[in-house]
Chains A and B, each alone.
Chain A
Amino acid sequence: MTITIGLPSKGRMKEDSSAVLARAGFTVTAVGNDRSYRGRVEGRDDIEIAFLSASEISREIANGTVDFGVTGEDLVREGLAEADARVEFCARLGFGHADVVVAVPEIWLDVDTMADLGDVAADFRARHGRRLTIATKYWRLTQQFFSGNHGIQLYRIVESLGATEGAPASGSADIIVDITSTGSTLTANHLKILSDGVILKSEACLVRARKAEHAGDPVVAEIIQAVRGAL
Chain B
Amino acid sequence: MPLVNLPAFAPDLIADLEKLGTERVDTPVIQPAEPFLDMAGEDLRRRIFMTESETGKSLCLRPEFTIPVCLRHIETATGTPKRYAYLGEVFRQRREGSNEFYQAGIEDLGEPDVARADARAVHDALAVLKNRLPGRKLSVVLGDQSVFEAVVAACGLPAGWQKRLVHAFGNQAQLQKLMAALSNPAPSGTFGPEVERLAIFGTLDDEARLIAHIDETMEATGYSTNASRSPADIARRLREKMELANTRLDGRTLALLKEFLALELSLADAPRALAAFADKAGLSLGAALARFESRVAALSETGVDLADITYRAAFGRPLDYYTGLVFEIAPEGDALVLAGGGRFDRLLTLLGAKERIPAVGFSLWLDRIASVKGQAA
Contact = CB atoms under 8 A, between A and B. Distances in A.
Q: Do A and B come from one complex?
A: yes
Interface string B80-121: 000000000000000000000000000000000000000000
A171 interface: yes
* Main DSSP-derived SS at the A contact region: mixed
B38 A131 contact: yes
B214 A109 contact: yes
Interface stretch (A38-46, A115-123, A209-217): A115-123
Interface in A131-173: 131, 139, 142-143, 146-147, 151, 153-157, 168-169, 171
A146 B229 contact: no
Given A107-B221, A153-B42, A125 B350 contact: yes
A169 B223 contact: yes
Contacts of B263: none
* Main DSSP-derived SS at the B contact region: helix
B234 A107 contact: yes
Contacts, number: 103
Interface string A34-78: 000000000000000000000000000000000000000000000
A154 B41 contact: yes
B230 to A, nearest CB: 9
B273 to A, nearest CB: 29
B237 A105 contact: no
Nearest to A113: B190
B42 to A, nearest CB: 5
Given A112-B190, A113-B190, A122 B221 contact: no
Contacts of A147: 41-43
B55 to A, nearest CB: 16
Given A122-B164, A143-B43, A143-B46, A110 B228 contact: no
B45 interface: yes
Contacts of B335: none
B194 A109 contact: yes
Given A151-B171, A169-B223, A190-B223, A109 B238 contact: yes
Contacts of B217: 107
Given A113-B190, A143-B46, A168-B228, A119 B41 contact: no
A154 B350 CA distance: 13
Contacts of B163: 119, 122-123
A99 interface: no
Contacts of A125: 320, 350
A192 interface: yes
B228 A171 contact: yes
Contact of A120 (B37, B214, B237): B237
A195 interface: yes
A174 interface: yes
Given A153-B318, A171-B228, A109 B192 contact: yes
A109 B199 CA distance: 12
A120 B240 CA distance: 12
A202 B340 CA distance: 42
Interface string A92-131: 0000000000000111111011011011101101011001
Given A109-B194, A153-B319, A155-B42, 12 more contacts: A109-B192, A109-B198, A110-B234, A113-B190, A116-B241, A125-B350, A151-B168, A151-B171, A153-B43, A156-B42, A171-B228, A174-B228
Top 9 closest pairs, chain A to chain B, by CB: A171-B227, A153-B41, A110-B238, A151-B174, A110-B237, A190-B221, A147-B43, A174-B228, A122-B167
